[in-house]
Amino acid sequence: DIVMTQSPDSLAVSLGERATFNCKSSQSILNSSNNKNYVGWYQQKPGQPPKLLIFWASTRESGVPDRFSGSGSGTDFTLTISSLQAEDVAVYYCHQYYSSPPTFGQGTKVEIK
Amino acid sequence: QLHLQESGPGLVKPSETLSLTCTVSGGSISDSNHYWGWIRQPQTPGRGLEWIGSIYYSGSTNYSPSLKSRVTISVDTSKNQFSLKLRSVTAADTAVYYCARRQFWYDMSGHYSTWFDPWGQGTLITVSA
């Protein structure tokens, strides 16, 4: 199985500031045939199911604010919130769908400083 | 707008079978562009999301290797539902269980099961005597 390791486990950021967190896969999840990285990012608020934010490592899902952006390739990926808002307090998970079984990172908890 | 809703008993006794149904509304489960899946999330802090398995409307399935011996996922296109059965449960199976739609992607390099969107609200299943 591909292991997805997120860092840090938690992060406190002031409102309006940038939040950046990382996800590392145990093997490359770049498909060289189509040049796509098989990574998604989800946001989970308390008491709610995960919500898809990003797929193909950097494509924003429809309706997701443009302060959210994804980057990276191969084994190292980053989710950035350019200007943290109060409603962004949540746990964020990365997910690989390069191979079966699909696996998720353990999550990064984002809080307000 | 597509909506998924899990239903089933909240409490299951050890060694018994957990049975859940996901009802899909606002769209057809027979959509050829999607798989349908089950994911669970133990409530223990630090425990993340675990994929259980997925099914296509044709009935084609794939399961997590760690759960494969105990899991059956089935689909009922006439009811727009798919179901999960997990046999011989233990306390370790206590979790929030989610159903979700899984995007099926085609391009010149092949076809792939990809991300999960949307998810149902989830249902807490407790395994206890």
Q: Taking Cα atoms as reference points, which of B10, B105, B15, B121 lies closest to residue A36?
A: B105
Burial environment of residue B10 by CB neighbours within 10 A (0 to 12, 13 to 18, 19 or more): exposed
Question: What mean pLDDT is reported for chain A?
Answer: 97
pLDDT value of residue B111? 83
The closest CB to that of B62, out of A50, A52, A100, belongs to A100
Q: Taking CB atoms and an 8 Å cutoff, what residues of chain A touch B48?
A: 93, 104-107
Farthest-apart Cα atoms in chain A, separation = 43
% chain B with pLDDT above 70: 99
Pairing of strands B50-55, B34-41: antiparallel
pLDDT at B108: 84
Q: Calculate how close chain B gets to A105, using CA atoms only, in Å.
A: 7
Question: B112–A103: do the CB atoms touch at under 8 Å?
Answer: no
Distance from CA of A51 to the nearest CA of B (A): 7
pLDDT tens digits, B53-86: 999 999 999 999 999 999 999 999 999 999 999 9
pLDDT, mean of residues A65-91:
98
User: How close are the terminal C-alpha atoms of chain B, in Å?
Assistant: 39
pLDDT above 70: percentage of residues in chain A: 100
Amino acid at B124: L
Task: Check the CA dihedral A24-B47-B66-A56 and report its sign.
Answer: negative
Per cent of chain B over pLDDT 90 is 88
Which pLDDT band, with edges at 50, 70 and 90, does A74 fall under? very high
Instruction: Give the pLDDT score at B121.
Output: 98
**How do strand B123-127 and strand B11-12 relate by DSSP bridges?**
parallel
d(CA B75, CA B89): 22
Pick from B41-50, B52-61, B84-93: least confident: B41-50
| Under 8 Å between Cβ of A29 and A96 | yes
